[in-house]
Amino acid sequence: MNTKLSLKELNRISVEEFKETKKLPLIIVLDNIRSMNNVGSVFRTSDAFVVEKIYLCGITPKPPHREINKTALGATETVDWEYCSTTKEAIDDLREKGYEIYSIEQAEGSIKLNEFHPKADLKIAIIMGNEVDGVDQDIINNSDGVIEIPQYGTKHSLNISVTTGIVVWHLFNSLKE
């Protein structure tokens, strides 16, 4: 029988221990995200998989805010983040620091997520686009590539927080080895 673990049995680390933990060489760039719940969810996912940092760009809401905290559940205190007025500014900064930039979008010539297997020593930044318009074409043009989650239903659209979780889980498994 499977017994649910207690909070003590989960062996959660403290904020201080999290700050000292080796991070996944992965940056998440939020390109003009509107929903504070989505931003909070991305923080929470980033905490779960020890993502290095989040860049909040353009109109993307910034902590501290009650609506972000509602879904982040404290992850805004653990995950490093930075605000950039434009996503292009974030890309330029990350490229200068040696990151490969990938937009997460449905586009011609995209790489299917299940076929994307980066080397463990690669530093990656992924760009998550606006809930309505996706990643801006100029940003796609400034990316090193585009990664797409294969979808087989009628909608061909996932919420940004769901998309982030799927992509980060895949990259976590690729980069942690």
Domains defined for the chain, CATH in brackets: 22-175 (3.40.1280.10)
Q: Taking Cα atoms as reference points, which of 111, 100, 112, 110 lies closest to residue 144? A: 100
Q: How far apart are CA 83 and CA 7, in angstroms?
A: 33
Backbone angles phi, psi at 26, to 5 degrees: -135, 130
Return the DSSP state at 130. B
Question: Residue 125: enclosing H or E segment and its boundaries?
Answer: strand 124-128
In one-letter notation, the amino acid at residue 20 is E
Q: How far apart are CA 36 and CA 63, in angstroms?
A: 9
Q: How far apart are CA 100 and CA 27, in angstroms?
A: 10
What was the pLDDT predicted at 54?
98
**Total residue length of the chain:** 177
Per-10-residue mean pLDDT of the chain, 177 residues long, equals 87 91 96 97 98 98 95 96 98 98 97 94 96 96 98 92 98 88
What was the pLDDT predicted at 10?
87
Q: Taking Cα atoms as reference points, which of 109, 97, 99, 108 lies closest to residue 171? A: 99
Q: How far apart are CA 75 and CA 15, in angstroms?
A: 9
